[in-house]
Amino acid sequence: MYLDTANIEEIKEAFSLGILKGVTTNPSILLKEGKSRAKVVKEILENSEGTVFVQAIGESYDDIYRDCQEIMNLDSNRVALKIPACFNGIKVIKQSKTDNPNTIILATAIFSVEQALLCALAGSDFVAPYVNRMENNNINPYEVITKIRKIFDDRNLSTKILAASFKNTNQLVDILFAGAHTATISCDVLVNMIDKQLAEASIKIFNKDWEKLQNQI
């Protein structure tokens, strides 16, 4: 599981759990922090573990490719590329893998099976279907993910499905059931996965009963 944020306090708190594999960011997330991309990425690297995905920007092939090189200069060991699954983006995925097969690439903004397949064939390590955005546009994300997973498995493609864009924990459970390998989630969704009212109520009863037991003995 990955954390989808650039907020350092959220990252510190979430990573204290010891279960996260890294952090994903995008330009919209970085904008909330009001600092340069290089500064934010540096802070994330200092306060997290695992892979830090940074999204390349641009519309032309040259612009996207050039930004990918700038991103990899931030840290060649832990930083990975997020590249949009558009025509020029797929070309950049292929070229980036040709330049350095060890570069980790997440193809982002996936809304269809076809996009995911093309990105996998280009060499992407992960594809990121946008779950909630699909639902908001009358696309069934669970059907899309199931089809992607079957195509990948049937053809022995090593690309993993890293789902993104969630509004609740039910969506997360459903995409994993549909075949997604992993997901990136906001801190709010992570907290909602843990803090269940029934569990909290049971824990309070246990704690009160423990106090009563201590008073009796």
Whether 150 is catalytic is no
Residues 25, 199: Cα–Cα separation, whole Å: 31
104, 77 contact by CB (below 8 A): no
Tokens 């990955």 label which residue? 2
In the 8-state DSSP scheme, what is residue 163? E
Catalytic residue, chosen from 82, 91, 97, 147, is 82
What are the beta bridge partners of residue 61? none
Instruction: Give yes or no for a contact between 2 and 29, defined as CB atoms under 8 angstroms apart.
Output: no
Backbone Cα Rg of the chain:
20
CA distance 123 to 104: 9
The CA distance from 97 to 93, in Å, is 6
Place of tokens 């020029």: 88
Quote the CA–CA distance of 154 and 190 in Å, as a whole number.
32
- Catalytically active residues are 82
